Chain A
Amino acid sequence: MNVQFKKGVLDLCVLSMLKTSDQYGYELASSLSEIIQISDGTVYPILRKLATDGLVTTYLQESQSGPPRKYYRLTQLGRKTLDNLQAEWVTFSRSVNQIVGGDAR
């Protein structure tokens, strides 16, 4: 998939994945890399940037197996940002589809 495409939507994807439940880095990285084929490692800089921007917070939680894991949770601001991005994405992708696919839904 085109690298430029991915760049634009990564924040949106990560935020969306955190919408329903908190997740730890490995989990996010492997599901994301499976779906849109990025290297697992690039998820961590994104998460860090989202944390710096105040869109997510982190906390450590023990796991049944192995060392404690760092979980990521959406903040209030994160949720708001996600809603905005999501709305923008829907409008945007619909418009692009109209042009590209002649697909006027």
Chain B
Amino acid sequence: MTRQEYLNAMRVALRGTPTAEIEDILRDFAEHFDIGLSQGKSEHEVSAELGDPATVAATYRDPELVTVGHTADEIPAAAPAADPRTSSGKDLSYNDLTGPRVFVVLLNLLVTWWVAIAAYAVMLVLWFLAFALIVGGIMTVVTALIAGITTTTALFAGIGLIFLGIAIVLFNVFLTKWLILGSKAYISWNRKVYHEGF
């Protein structure tokens, strides 16, 4: 949770308390955030340390509820469930995504787009080539048989073409699979950087 999200959640949870008191309470928490941030903590870390806003707010109403708290080692385990972005400390870049976003857009416009076009074009060409070789090979063999040409050269040339075509098909299957998997991985990486930073 960011500072603003936390304070909003507190405000909602404190509904029904006199307004002046709510403002006073929120001031305390805003101060807590400010000091935490000035000590180099992220907004997410401070939120996690403060604990669930609804629980804290309930404690104001009934002080007997006090301190249903986390232990120090529970906090990192609980935080990712509440907000995946706090995992692996990536939350530091959460506040400013301008850099990562510009990077992703530029990378795609300047590099990825052209590489992808070239790779997919090569793949397409190879599929056509394989198809043409196989068809060509079959035609050669059939023509040779119909024409009654018994020279082994024509037969072997045809069969050779067919095998070459099949070899290219096999290679192409791998290439296509790799390209699709690579594209998927790249897209999800892009999405992550765009939304969460590096």
Residues of A at under 8 Å CB distance from B?
1, 3, 6-7, 10, 24-26, 29-30, 33-34, 37-42, 44-49, 65-67, 69-70
Contacts and interface: CB of A to CB of B under 8 A. Distances in A.
A29 B27 CA distance: 15
Most buried by A among B25, B32, B36, B38: B32
A66 B36 CA distance: 11
B63 A66 contact: no
Interface string B7-32: 00000000000000000010111011
A48 B21 CA distance: 10
Most buried by A among B25, B56, B64: B56
Given A3-B67, A45-B63, A69-B35, A33 B49 contact: yes
Interface residues of B, number: 28
Nearest to B10: A41
B72 interface: yes
Contacts of A70: 27-28, 31
A66 B59 contact: no
A37 B40 CA distance: 21
A25 B31 contact: yes
Contacts of B71: 1, 37
A41 to B, nearest CB: 4
A25 to B, nearest CB: 6
A34 B72 contact: yes
25 contacts: A3-B68, A3-B69, A6-B69, A7-B66, A7-B67, A25-B32, A29-B32, A33-B69, A37-B71, A37-B72, A38-B69, A39-B55, A39-B56, A39-B69, A39-B70, A41-B51, A41-B56, A44-B29, A44-B56, A45-B59, A45-B66, A67-B31, A67-B34, A69-B31, A69-B35
Interface of B: 25, 27-29, 31-32, 34-36, 38, 49-53, 55-56, 59-60, 63-64, 66-72
Contacts of A45: 56, 59-60, 63, 66
Given A34-B72, A49-B63, 11 more contacts: A25-B31, A33-B72, A37-B69, A37-B71, A39-B67, A42-B51, A42-B55, A44-B28, A44-B29, A45-B60, A45-B63
Contacts of A41: 29, 49-53, 55-56, 59
